[in-house]
Every structure is written in structure tokens, then in C-alpha cells.
Chains A and B, each alone.
Chain A
């Protein structure tokens, strides 16, 4: 008995791990029924795997049987892998027992499509209902919306899940068609839009009616695979930006493609996943969401790809030296946020602290500003007098000379000739 469940867990956790989302934040469920589970606003990462990724949720597939044959997916029909399927009760048991031991924040449940979309969605919904209604479980549930499932099922699932997501898979329609001819972005857009409408509707009802049930309180997210098809960073981020705008997504995830197939349309087996590129894309994503940058400022026809050797914020600053140096003691918050070496927390502290007197270099350092980087772009109370203006390229050289890329050692895509 225990061997069988171990085998199933190994197969179905292994198949689910390429879904990167593991966030457990944004849940608002309170333990008001003397049950088990209470969400934590900022989420909790309970452990980290050896690849450095957070483990917050029990991330599993209900089954890896699938009727589709998408080239980028391990569970594709034509792939020769072991297949398995959990029963609904097995998933419930695992979730409850892991949760009670404080191993996890909750459940991330996805599935291969067996029979058809509705049949699959029904099973997923059943797991959620059992957890919420029978086990009085108030922990986090991230549920995959199965494209093509009926509106009724999706809407009902939204009443029990905290987050729902559907993956775009490839950043552009052309890329998707190349690797998964049976799928299209429209299949994703329809249910994403449907859930979003319902989120808005429930929120509107809540203003008028006192007791409105929760509907996907932690919002929706999606994921794109990076590096399997030849899109530019601009293509990727413009797609991400459009989805943030049109569907009020909480997150877009970028998953560096880990080769799993010998098909000639994709990078061959053994190719390193594009970790650095993935990192740069996330940095851009953060700049868009928390630093007030427009995607067009960071990526455009003149710069369709992100700099590899420096981060996108520094890269923007160097291209736009006309905005610098910024006076720390006078500039408004939005401009301070744009200075390389200053993050959101430091920027907030700076605008608070300068009300009490002009800030000096030593104070900025204590506040948490990365001064060696920021010094090229700021003036403060005791900035040394500088005779000449440096060019953007010179500043880049200064900064690169004193910093060590954390990726240099792992970046084996780089060809070494001598």
C-alpha cells in the first residue's frame, strides 16, 4: 500500500514540477470554523529544493495521462513515461497530513487531460470540495483551470480555490502552434477572461451585499516557457504586459525551458536552461509592477533584447543619462525609485528621512542603498565634487569592474575558445 502511494507521488510530483508557480500569497481565508488552516497574507515558503526554488505547496498532478501531445510537455501522449493517477481521497489525505505537520502552505493541483476537459475539471473540483467541506480545510489551494471546461464547473471551482491559473505556454501564438498545433492562445484567453469577470462581479456584489462567498481571492496567474522557441525578450514582455493589463493577473511566470525531448524544433537534450535570461525577465517584470516603468521604456525596437551583463534597471539608466544625477534630497519618489542601487524599501526610507535634514552618504549606506552602484547617478549632501561627466558606457565599465556576476560560473552556454 505505502509503496504504491510512494510511486504515485514520485511520478505525479515529478511531472508537476515544471509549473513554476509556488506562491501562497494573497489568500484571505481565515480559520473561522475551528478547522485546520489559516492563510498567511504574504505566503510562506516551507522549504527550498536544491535548485533553489521555493516549496510552498504540494504541487502534484491528479494524473499524467493526457490526450494531448504538446512537444514541450513531459506528460505528452507520445512520451514514454510511467503513468499514474491519484484517487480523490489520496490527494485529500496527502494534503491534510502534510499540512498538519507544517510541511506545506497548501495544495497546487493540476492534471493531464484524461477523456475530456469537463471530466478532468470535475475531478479537480471534487478534491477542492472534499477539502473545504469535509475536512474544514482553510489552507491555500491553487487550481489549474482546464481550458475547454464548462463555465459552470469553472465558476464552482472558483468558490473553493484561492488562485486559479492557466498557462500560455509559449509567448506567441506562432510559437505555440509550432509545438502544440492542437492548442491556441484563444483557449487560454476565454477562461482567463471568464474567471476575471467573475472576480470583478463578486467584488462588486460585496460592496452591496454583506455575505458574498470568496471567489479566487488570490487572483489568477499564468506561465510562459522561455527559450524553447525563438521569441525576443520584447515579444515575451509585451505579451506579459498585455495579460497583466487585460486580465489583472497577479503574476506571470517565466520558465526557462529544461530540455525534455529530442525533437529538432527545440533546443536539444543537455542544453543548459536559460537561467540568466529568465532572471533578467523577472527583473523586468518587477520593474513594471513595482518601480513604475513602462514596458516600452525597457524593451523597444531599438532594444528588443535585455542586456545580459547588466540588469534592466541599470541598462535603462545608462541609456537615459539625461535624467541623472538625481538629487536624493529633492527628487520625487518616482525618480528615486529609478536610481540603480536603490530599491523600494530604501526609496521609502529616503523620502521619510530627508524631512529631518539633508541626507549624507553614510546615512544612505545605513538605510540600505547599494552606494557603489548608486553613486554614479545621485547627488546628496556630501557628494564629492566631480569635474567631468562620465558617459553611460564608462559608468557601465566602472560598475562591471567591481561586480561579479553570479551566473558567470554556471553559464555554460558561453563558448570558451581559448
Chain B
């Protein structure tokens, strides 16, 4: 049996609800976007229903502690189609077993979710580390990113607490939305970029006059802090994989 859904979190939860109502046996969940009909498998299209989803979520909250609810949410944010299926299977497994079943690391869905969550948390942590703000002429600290996973919802609070007295924008170029902190709350925004504009490194004309000085000082510092006799390129690349260099002021030439 194949269930298809719309790719949303309530969609996965609704699918669980539908499964328990029908008990069709072994079932695989797939986003309808990538669904390919198979010759001999039956198919059911899940219609997302917030009431059903809420009931399943409430059930999960009874079964799981905070750390696992977070793992659940993180796995969803990975946006990986197999992760959606694991979430679906994991939830069914939880409801069919006694409390505490999430600690069964011998179960393939438990270990799969633990791994997805770890990857997403790592990407979240990398964003907290590698984001570099540029101080624009209108006083906003701006940055654009394209993270591997949809981690903006996870980093919002971190930046809000940390930079409570400065306006900032973090924009996800891949998913075409961003966060704007206006000194009070964080709001979701979308930006209509003019064609041909460099979204990552806006021209210096748009920047605060001190911006260039501090980016130069930071590059200087980065060079001075290195101990040449200890050069270890492999370790360097392990910690800062090349795909993140585009964010890093200290890795830009000039």
C-alpha cells in the first residue's frame, strides 16, 4: 500500500490517523510530488486535515518527551522524502507500543530519525556559526544563506536573543523566504530581488561606511591567528567544508 501526501507536517500526521482508521497493513508514505504509481501496489491519497493532525500530535506529545518531539520536528525539516516515511512509520510504531519505545535504538525508524535530527541540528549549528552579517546603510544587519535543510525556524530564537538591540535579516535564498527582527519580534518576509543584484555580497554602496573596515580587520585577524607550522588542511576542510566558504567573510578574496 502507498499513501501519498502534500509534503506538510500535518500531512504526515493525518496519514497516521488515516492508517489507524483503515489498518491497511504494510504501507509506505510518499510526497505526491515525487510519487510514481506502481503496477501492483494500491494507492491512497491523504487529504491533510488539521483536526486529525492535531489529534495525532496530541497523542505524540503524551508519548514523547521534549527532546524527542524536537527530533521529530527536525527530521521533518530535513525535507528528505525518506525521512517523511520514517516519521510516518515511527509514529505508528510508537502508538503500537508501550511508553518509552523511542529508546529502542535497535529499531530502524528510531535510529533513522536520530540520524536525520543530528544532521539537521548540525546544519542549524553551522548556520549559527557561519552566518556573517553585513551592516547596511539603513542600519540593518543582513545576510543571505542557502542551508542544506530548512533550518530558519530553528535558529530564529538564537539570533533574536543574541542581537536584541539590532535589526537583522536572515534570508534563505533556496527556499525564498527570510526572517526579519524589528527589535520586538521576528517576522517572516519575502524579498523581491531586482534582476542582476548580488544577493550574497551586496555592493559596498549599500553598506554602512564602517562595514569594509571591520571585514578587513576580521580577515587580518583570521590570518594572524593561524600558526603556519601547524598547517592541517584536512582538518580545516573537515570543520569548514567548502560549500560554506561563500558565507564566510574571512574566506573571500580581496
Contact = CB atoms under 8 A, between A and B. Distances in A.
Contact of A35 (B104, B164, B227): B164
B130 interface: yes
A94 B226 CA distance: 19
B39 interface: no
B63 interface: no
A273 B164 contact: no
A39 to B, nearest CB: 9
Contacts of B134: 101
Q: Which of A40, A49, A360 has the most CB of B within 10 A?
A: A49
B221 to A, nearest CB: 5
A357 B218 contact: no
A49 B166 contact: no
Interface in A203-220: none
A49 B104 contact: no
Interface string B80-113: 0000000000000000000001011111100100
A102 B230 contact: no
Given A44-B125, A352-B103, A367-B105, A6 B220 contact: yes
B232 A10 contact: no
Contact of A258 (B107, B130, B227): B227
B106 A363 contact: yes
Interface stretch (A54-62, A187-195, A290-298): A54-62
A46 B248 CA distance: 9
A34 B183 CA distance: 9
A97 interface: yes
B226 A9 contact: no
A272 interface: yes
Interface stretch (B4-12, B16-24, B71-79, B155-163): B155-163
B222 A100 contact: no
Contacts of B216: 2, 6
A158 interface: no
Contacts of A275: 230, 232
A349 B134 CA distance: 42
B141 interface: yes
Contact of B224 (A17, A30, A31, A273): A17
A226 to B, nearest CB: 13
B132 interface: yes
A171 interface: no
Interface string B214-252: 111110111111111111111110111000000011100
Which 9 pairs between the two chains have the least Cβ-Cβ distance? Answer: A52-B235, A353-B105, A13-B224, A51-B230, A52-B232, A49-B226, A48-B239, A356-B104, A352-B103
Interface of B: 101, 103-108, 111, 125, 128-135, 141, 143, 158, 161-166, 210, 213-218, 220-236, 238-240, 248-250
Interface of A: 2, 5-6, 9-10, 13-14, 17-18, 30-31, 34-38, 40, 44-55, 58-59, 94, 97-98, 100-103, 136, 256, 258-259, 272-273, 275, 349-350, 352-357, 359-360, 363, 366-367, 406, 410
29 contacts: A6-B216, A13-B221, A17-B226, A36-B162, A44-B129, A45-B129, A46-B129, A47-B222, A47-B240, A47-B248, A51-B226, A51-B230, A51-B232, A94-B217, A97-B210, A101-B132, A101-B134, A101-B249, A102-B132, A103-B132, A136-B165, A275-B230, A352-B103, A355-B104, A356-B101, A356-B103, A356-B107, A366-B108, A367-B106
